[in-house]
Structure formats: C-alpha cells, structure tokens
C-alpha cells in the first residue's frame, strides 16, 4: 500500500535490520526499542489492524506465532520469558496502521500496561 511505512520496509524501499523473512512475513528490529530485544513481526500483506482479521487470515496468524516462538528461541529469551503485543486502534496505542506484533524480551515487564 502506498505511503505505508511497513509496506515500504517489507518491499525494502525503506531499510531495516531484518532478523527473519519468508514469503509471507518479515521481522525486523524496532527503531525505538523498549527492551533489550524488541522485534516487530509484520505480514507482507497490508492488513490495517486486528480489527480486519477474519477466517482468511487464520493461517497467517498461526504462522506468525510459530515464527515468534522460533525467534524467541534464537534470540535466547524463551527461558526467561517474553511479551508479545499487538496494539489495535487509537485506545490500543497503534501508531502504524499495518498490523504487527511486538516481541519484547531481555528484561522483566510489569502488569498492568500503562
């Protein structure tokens, strides 16, 4: 999609520190990390937010969570634990309107979120 920063990262129009890529998804380091490990997992297809998900996206989301598990292992945060976050819409704090999952690790997180 035109003018979407994550579509541009997926097409390599904008550079990023890619940690994983396949035909459906790309995972790269967040430009403003909130933890020692902060990776964004992004489908290459432009889906605006979790509000747009339906039955046709189930396999994509399954795939994303399988890759998140593998990335957590590869990055050595699986044993201590980690957090996966999807911000949806204004109240959820979503700032980029292309669905993405944050993988955060390397420190202890508090609850409830701010």
Catalytically active residues are 100
Between the alpha carbon of residue 9 and those of residues 45, 70, 80, 99, 108, the distances in Å are 12, 22, 30, 13, 29
- Residue 4 vs 55, nearer CB to ligand 5GP: 4
Given ligand 5GP, Zn ion, none, residue 94, with its beta carbon under 5 to 8 Å by kind, binds ligand 5GP
Check residue 44 for interaction with Zn ion (CB under 5 A): no
How many binding residues for Zn ion (CB under 5 A)?
6
- 112 prior amide bond cis, ω within 30: yes
Judged by the rule CB under 6 A, the positions of this chain that interact with ligand 5GP are: 5, 14, 16, 28-32, 40, 87, 93-96
Query: What is the CA 69 to chain-centroid distance, rounded?
Result: 12
């Amino acid at each position: 999609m035109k003018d979407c920063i994550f579509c541009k990262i997926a097409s390599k129009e904008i550079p990023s520190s890619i940690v994983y890529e396949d035909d459906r998804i790309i995972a790269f380091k967040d430009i403003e990390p909130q933890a020692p490990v902060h990776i964004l997992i992004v489908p290459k297809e432009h889906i605006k937010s979790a509000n747009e998900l339906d039955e046709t996206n189930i396999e994509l989301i399954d795939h994303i969570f399988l890759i998140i598990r593998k990335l957590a292992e590869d990055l050595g945060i699986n044993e201590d634990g980690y957090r996966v976050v999807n911000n949806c819409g204004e109240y959820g704090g979503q700032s980029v309107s292309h669905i993405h999952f944050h993988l955060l690790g390397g420190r202890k997180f508090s609850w409830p979120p701010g």
